[in-house]
Amino acid sequence: MTFSAFLVALCTHSLRRTGVLCLAALAFIASAQPSPQLQLPRTKLNAGMHVLDVQLAQTPEQRQTGLMWRKDMPQHEGMLFVFEQPATQCFWMRNTLIPLSAAFVADDGTIVNIADMKPQSDDSHCSEKPVRYVLEMNVGWFAKRQLKAGYKLGGPAFTR
Q: Is the pTM of this model over 0.85?
A: no
Which amino acid is located at 34 in the chain?
P
pLDDT at 9: 56
Q: Where in the sequence is the domain holding 16, given as residue range(s)?
A: 3-32
Q: Is residue 91 part of a domain?
A: yes
**137 and 114 share one domain:** yes
Same domain, 63 and 88: yes
Contact 68, 92 (CB under 8 A): no
Residue 97 sits in the same domain as residue 137: yes
Average pLDDT, whole number, for the chain?
Answer: 87
**How many separate domains does the chain show?**
2
Q: 149 near 112, Cβ under 8 Å?
A: yes
Residue 23 shares a structural domain with residue 91: no
Residue 148 domain flag: yes
Q: How many residues does the chain have?
A: 160
Q: How far is Cα 129 from Cα 131, in angstroms, rounded to an integer? A: 6
**Which CATH number fits the domain that encloses residue 129?**
2.60.120.1140
Strand bridging mode 50-57 / 42-47: antiparallel
In this structure, the strands spanning 100-105 and 131-138 are antiparallel
Domain-located, residue 105:
yes
116/100 Cα distance (integer angstroms): 6
* Distance between CA atoms of residues 113 and 20, nearest Å: 55
What's the pLDDT tens digit per position in 98-144? 999 999 999 999 999 999 999 999 999 999 999 999 999 999 999 99
pLDDT number for residue 20: 52
In this structure, the answer to whether residues 14 and 55 fall within a common structural domain is: no
Residue 157 has pLDDT above 60, yes or no: yes
Q: Are residues 27 and 53 in the same domain?
A: no
Query: pLDDT tens across 26-54, in order?
Result: 455 444 567 898 899 999 999 999 999 99
CB 56 within 8 A of CB 26: no
Residue 160, pLDDT score: 61
* Domain annotation covers residue 122: yes
- What does the alpha-carbon distance between residue 24 and residue 6 come to, in Å, rounded to a whole number? 15
Helix (H) or strand (E) holding 61: helix 60-65
Domain for residue 127, yes or no? yes
Q: Is residue 37 part of a domain?
A: no
